[in-house]
Amino acid sequence: MRLDVSYDGTDFSGWARQRGLRTVCGELEEKLGAVLRTPVVLTVAGRTDAGVHATGQVAHVDVPAELVPDEPDCLVRRLARFVAEDVRITAITRAPAEFDARFSAMRRHYEYRLTTAPFGAEPLRARDTVAHPRALDVDAMQAASARLLGLHDFAAFCKRREGATTIRELQRFDWRRDGDLVVASVSADAFCWSMVRSLVGALLAVGEGRRDEEWLASLLHERARSSAVLVAPAHGLCLVGVDYPPDDQLGARNLTTRETRSHTECCGGTT
């Protein structure tokens, strides 16, 4: 079954299961297992960090066919009565056998929200919008972001994991302003650990005038995490979507992704 998931990450220690900590995966596996009356293990498109939100997360779970209702989406209402209010399964569908939430994914989309308003974030958006007290040159940020697009080694922006590749294809990195609100849209085939928030942190330095476009581009030549790149706060980040190929191309996509990651432990979309 494919599960579409939304959550406020404020009170979660990230997606991944961690002993003694409240996580999105732990919460959903417990409640879904209780409803289906069988232990379940979720596979997710992107393992978000502590404090990061999602409106377009995707996961899959394999369960015995006899436990799946004829209309799987009817489980959505049942689960809504059991899970906490800060996480919701918004849709459940029968997925093809070849569907893999992680390996079938073609790209992940994130948004990062911040505000330059002198009073900070609006109270109703304080949990998903970062208050940034300094003025930003969004045009300069947009121009600099374009220098990072394409297939590169993003080691300067990633927390190193043993055996993990830091080569990614950054497909979109746009900035837009709406009054005091500034939003970044970031898309890639996958992301390394802390990569999105590091990209945002680097561009904030450009927007404030502390760094220039050439400095940003030079980071692509680094082969280790750069101490000059600050990681933006987690609560401004949200996973807003995951793209998958048509059903008849799922098997080929899985093979391509597995071959690409065959000699590394892929981060699979962590942020």
Q: Give the residue ranges of the annotated binding site for substrate.
A: 110
Which is it for the CA torsion 96, 101, 107, 110, positive or negative? positive
Q: What is the DSSP letter of 263?
A: T
Query: Which residue in 258, 196, 269 sits closest to 229, CA to CA?
Result: 196
Q: Which two tokens stand for residue 166?
A: 């830091």
Query: Which residue in 92, 76, 73 sits closest to 1, CA to CA?
Result: 92
Catalytic residue among 4, 8, 11, 49: 49
H or E segment to which residue 75 belongs: helix 74-80
Query: Which residue in 193, 141, 150 sits closest to 169, CA to CA?
Result: 150
Q: What is d(CA 269, CA 58) in angstroms, rounded to the nearest whole number?
A: 12
Cα-flanking dihedrals φ and ψ of residue 253, to 5°? -65, -40
Is 49 one of the annotated active-site residues of the chain?
yes
Binding residues: 110
Q: Which two tokens stand for residue 128?
A: 């998903």
Work out the angle at residue 92's Cα, subtended by the Cα atoms of residues 91 and 94, and round it to the nearest 5 degrees: 140
Query: What would the DSSP string read from start to end of 164-202?
Result: ---EEEEEEEEEEEETTEEEEEEEES---TTHHHHHHHH
Work out the angle at residue 251's Cα, subtended by the Cα atoms of residues 248 and 252, and round it to the nearest 5 degrees: 95
Query: What would the DSSP string read from start to end of 10-71?
Result: GGSS-SS--TTS--HHHHHHHHHHHHHTS---EEES--PPTT-EEEEEEEEE---GGGS-SS
Residues annotated as catalytic are 49
